[in-house]
Structure 1
Amino acid sequence: MAGRRLSLRTLVFFGGAMLMLVLAVVTAVLYTAALQRRAEELRVEKLTTRGELSANLLARRLHGVWMDVARLATLIDSTNPASAREQIQFMSRLDTRYSWLGVSNLEGKVLAATDGTLEGERVEQEPWFRQGLDVTAAIDGNGAHDPAHLPPASMESSRSIDLAAPVQHAGSVTGVVGAQLNWNWVLEGMADLQAPGIEPVLLSRDRLVLFGPPDLVNKPLNIGSALAADRVNSSSLRERWPDGKDYFTVTVPMIGLADLPNLGWSLLIRQNADDAMAPTRELIRSFWVMLGTGALTALALLYLAAQWLRTPLRRLSEAAEAIVRDPASRAPYAETRFEEAARLSNALARMQSKLMDRSTS
């Protein structure tokens, strides 16, 4: 038994199976790896496009209200407090984007404001007043206010955006129009950017989450994409977030449009990597199932082919052994499956005939 050689069927079947399976598996592994890599690239490209469009939409909303404040400054006469108060009240009722509107004189005294809030107060130290004396300003007002100068509506939120513009009369600056955006209006705009499975995350200049998953809001974000938020160009990567899950994340480092002042905000667009790659994983799984089914079918056909090749050779070898024992034994089977077997069958038949002639002479 130790010296028994492998049969032709075994050699053909296992040799062919090894060649076929090794090539198939190596090719399949390379193909599926390339497929997954390309799927990730396409997902990042889509998120990048969505991030840039979302940042542009948010910037357009902010730019629109910023321009409205600039236009409002051209309509108000700060030298006439009664008229200014009437216009402020009208705009406050008409436009719910503002949580507070007011106009001050050059000394920083509020002359008119929404519902009279802060009228008579001095706001000369407020950033919006100081910047609004010179240009139409937009300021991320978080932490930049004297609490005594915050209207009640603003104190309900931890965030504010201050807008201001110089009021001119007869060619000279006579006061400043100030506005605080209703933060809920900003949040509603961010909510409109959401899509199933895709989450926008708005970051402040100091990487504080202004909008995003509830467990991250008003907390600093110290992951790679947030640290890349101060770069000039967009970036993308796959990384683990504080919830322990992996996300494809695209960073749009600056939210601005035309001459809108930079608020220092940046936008992240994230998508759960497992959810994003689920269709690709299903495709790869189906591919492996089809490959496995095809491999089993091929192995079955290979086994039948090996058996088909082995049968005539087995019959011929048995016939040759029988002739050695007894030249008058049954004639070899006339093989016709392939040329070599047919030639060998004919040769054995002639050899048997000659052996029988010699034995009878």
Structure 2
Amino acid sequence: MSHVSLRTFFSLTFLIFIILLTAVLTISVGSKSSEEMEEEIGNSLSNVSYQMADKLDFFMWSRYNELKLLSELNTIKDEGNLDDKRVLLNELQKNISSFSWVGITNKEGEVIVATNNMLVGNSIKERPVYLEAMKKPFVGDVHEAVLLAKLMPSPNGEPVEFVDISFPIRNHKGEFSGVLASHLSWDWSKEIHRSIIEPYKAHLKSAKRVEVFIIRSEDNRILLGPDDMIGTALPTSLTNDNSISDQNWNIRKWPDGRDYVTSYSYSDGYLNYPGLNWKIIVREPIDTAFASVEKLKSYTLTVGMIAAILFAVIGWFIAGRVANPLKEIAIAANQLKRGERTEIPYFTRIRDLNDLSLSLREMVDTIMETKSELGRMKKLALKDSLTGLPNRVALYSFIDKKLENDANDENYFFLFMDLDGFKDINDTYGHQAGDDLLVKVADRLKASVKKGDFVARLGGDEFILIIRCETNSRIDEGIKLGESIISSINSPISLGDGVEVVIRCSIGGAIWPECGIEPDEVIDLADQALYQSKDKGKNQVTFYQA
């Protein structure tokens, strides 16, 4: 039986030891960070589905209340004044193009006035848009056009689809006199989809294959999604999973046999708008979603393997005098494996052993630096990619760490802000100008707060600020603070190429914990106060007061 030399034995032993040490450090240091990073990526997709659901509900809430307001006008209630009614309906359609058709019926269901005189003289008494609205407001789900199919053909030959909103009309005696009915073009949903997904994809290379689905709850039919899937139904097992209520995202196998990171949200109404219970699903192939995680794991492993080969060579030259130092190194490795804080020991008496111990320490530092890189990427997942401000995930992290743990004896202002007329800036100067405007607004907000305060972008043109109260006259202090922010935002903003705009903003405020112990409750109250500012004329601050 042949025997290997001591040098060979120690070199092979050393090689195996370094490989094991690398594996232990890679698993113990990198595994948890990778899981946290995957969680942040999943939460990022969840944020997209939440924004989509929120914008869908907000759009429908706006149209719902526009028609509600119109149905209560005396011009609409009076049985005469057909010309005045026609002017109102045409003006509504002119200013809000998503209204494909708006009409008024008499109590028998005959259309007596309508935009562009379409269907005037026709009866819609058998249609849900009339029948369901005889007693209460009606919101109808997406459906293909019936009576208007020939009058409003689609330019691409595809079926025209509408969402219905209608209100009963009652005369001054409270008697039913007809229905104010409308058809909203389903194309508006695609514009909302583009407004969310395109900026997301533009700032994340890994997000190029992200896809958004709007699903009808009653039959799981895809209302919006990839062209080849629209109109088909998803399996119930994919949409009615109990885990949806417990976790906003998970990894699911889709009918095409591939695994996707899949996030869920519900469009369940907003304020007085009841909602249509659409399911919003966002998916991304797992291989692209977690590509950065796998890349970092591979890098860590490569560094470890290179170090293993290097130290095997070193072991060959110091084989005769490394037994005891190796034992000490093995003890240190076991301590690291158990999660104990320790360092690879120095060996200064022998030059070769001293070099070895220093190299091992450098290897540990390299792996620790890799962990720091994972931590840096985790922080990026907490940032809004456009403005650099913290995002919604960072908001709740701040609340958990700062408010609920450290500030029980302090009062904080929750200021909910959005821009007035931001859509007009986008429509007039383009989405790039809108993005530039958001960046400059974010810079002004950051300049308006002190160290220790917090400002975040929630999505679109919505921002939230959390600022510590400094006086006992909290409402007065909060109003002055809000007015100072409004004044800052109202200053002219240059968008380049000689374009200068003035943007207004509305702010709603609430005080934590004075208005509520739960931060979510205080945020909702600040949101309500925001809409009071809108109702009172915009570009002002309103505080919630119990």
Q: Which residue of 2 aligns with 1:254?
A: 267
- How much does 1:140 deviate? 0.6
Letter aligned with residue 51 of structure 1: S
Verify the 8 A CA contact 1:190 1:211 in the aligned structure 2: no
Alpha carbons of 1:295 and 1:220: their partners in 2 closer, same or farther (altered >3 Å)? same
- How much does 1:234 deviate? 5.9
Alpha carbons of 1:256 and 1:83: their partners in 2 closer, same or farther (altered >3 Å)? same
Q: Which residue of 2 aligns with 1:106?
A: 107
2:187 aligned with 1:184, yes or no? yes
- How much does 1:19 deviate? 3.2
Out of 8, 11, 20, the position equivalent to 2:6 is 8
Q: Which residue of 2 aligns with 1:315?
A: none
SS at match of 2:318: helix
Q: Which residue of 1 aligns with 2:124?
A: 123
Alpha carbons of 1:231 and 1:241: their partners in 2 closer, same or farther (altered >3 Å)? closer
Letter aligned with residue 296 of structure 1: I
Letter aligned with residue 228 of structure 2: D
Mean Cα deviation higher: 174-183 or 212-221: 212-221
Verify the 8 A CA contact 1:225 1:251 in the aligned structure 2: no
SS at match of 1:120: coil
SS at match of 1:54: helix
Verify the 8 A CA contact 1:234 1:253 in the aligned structure 2: no
Q: Which residue of 1 aligns with 2:226?
A: 213
- In the alignment, the residues of structure 1 paired with residue 246 and residue 126 of structure 2 have an alpha-carbon distance, to the nearest angstrom, of 35
Alpha carbons of 1:193 and 1:150: their partners in 2 closer, same or farther (altered >3 Å)? same
Q: Which residue of 2 aligns with 1:46?
A: 44
- How much does 1:151 deviate? 6.7
Q: Which residue of 2 aligns with 1:79?
A: 79
Letter aligned with residue 214 of structure 2: L
- In the alignment, the residues of structure 2 paired with residue 268 and residue 48 of structure 1 have an alpha-carbon distance, to the nearest angstrom, of 9
Alpha carbons of 1:164 and 1:275: their partners in 2 closer, same or farther (altered >3 Å)? same
Q: Which residue of 2 aligns with 1:200?
A: 212
Letter aligned with residue 17 of structure 1: L
Larger relative contact order (CA 8 Å, sep ≥ 6): 1
Scaled by the length of structure 1, what TM-score is found? 0.76
Verify the 8 A CA contact 2:77 2:172 in the aligned structure 1: no
Report which of the two structures shows the higher radius of gyration computed on alpha carbons. Answer: 1
Letter aligned with residue 152 of structure 2: A
- In the alignment, the residues of structure 2 paired with residue 50 and residue 221 of structure 1 have an alpha-carbon distance, to the nearest angstrom, of 20
2:177 aligned with 1:174, yes or no? yes
Give per-residue Cα distances to partners, 1:294-343, cap 9 Å, x unaligned. 11111111111115679xxxxxxxxxxxxxxxxxxxxxxxxx989xxxxx
Verify the 8 A CA contact 1:203 1:211 in the aligned structure 2: yes
Q: Which residue of 2 aligns with 1:350?
A: none
Give per-residue Cα distances to partners, 1:89-142, cap 9 Å, x unaligned. 332333211111000112211111122211122222221212322333211142
2:21 aligned with 1:23, yes or no? yes
- In the alignment, the residues of structure 2 paired with residue 208 and residue 77 of structure 1 have an alpha-carbon distance, to the nearest angstrom, of 38
Alpha carbons of 1:84 and 1:287: their partners in 2 closer, same or farther (altered >3 Å)? same
SS at match of 2:274: coil
Scaled by the length of structure 2, what TM-score is found? 0.52
Q: Which residue of 1 aligns with 2:241?
A: 228
Give per-residue Cα distances to partners, 1:166-225, cap 9 Å, x unaligned. 223214132210000022122212222213123221111211111111221121122744
- In the alignment, the residues of structure 2 paired with residue 193 and residue 50 of structure 1 have an alpha-carbon distance, to the nearest angstrom, of 7
SS at match of 2:267: coil
- In the alignment, the residues of structure 2 paired with residue 219 and residue 105 of structure 1 have an alpha-carbon distance, to the nearest angstrom, of 38
Letter aligned with residue 8 of structure 1: L
- In the alignment, the residues of structure 2 paired with residue 154 and residue 168 of structure 1 have an alpha-carbon distance, to the nearest angstrom, of 33
Identity %: 20
Alpha carbons of 1:204 and 1:68: their partners in 2 closer, same or farther (altered >3 Å)? same
Q: Which residue of 1 aligns with 2:152?
A: 153
Q: How many residues align?
A: 309
Q: Which runs of 5+ in 2 are unaligned?
A: 202-206, 324-348, 352-546
- How much does 1:149 deviate? 6.5
- In the alignment, the residues of structure 1 paired with residue 131 and residue 61 of structure 2 have an alpha-carbon distance, to the nearest angstrom, of 20
Out of 294, 301, 312, the position equivalent to 1:288 is 301
Mean Cα deviation higher: 194-203 or 230-239: 230-239
Q: Which residue of 1 aligns with 2:505?
A: none
- How much does 1:264 deviate? 3.0
Give per-residue Cα distances to partners, 1:42-78, cap 9 Å, x unaligned. 2111212222122112210111011111111122235
Give per-residue Cα distances to partners, 1:203-258, cap 9 Å, x unaligned. 11211111111221121122744233996666422123344443211111334212
Cα RMSD for the two superposed structures: 3.0
Alpha carbons of 1:271 and 1:231: their partners in 2 closer, same or farther (altered >3 Å)? closer
Verify the 8 A CA contact 2:260 2:285 in the aligned structure 1: yes
- How much does 1:273 deviate? 1.5
Give per-residue Cα distances to partners, 1:17-59, cap 9 Å, x unaligned. 3333223324424555444433322211121222212211221
Q: Which runs of 5+ in 1 are unaligned?
A: 311-335, 339-361
- How much does 1:161 deviate? 0.4
Letter aligned with residue 274 of structure 1: D
Mean Cα deviation higher: 286-295 or 15-24: 15-24
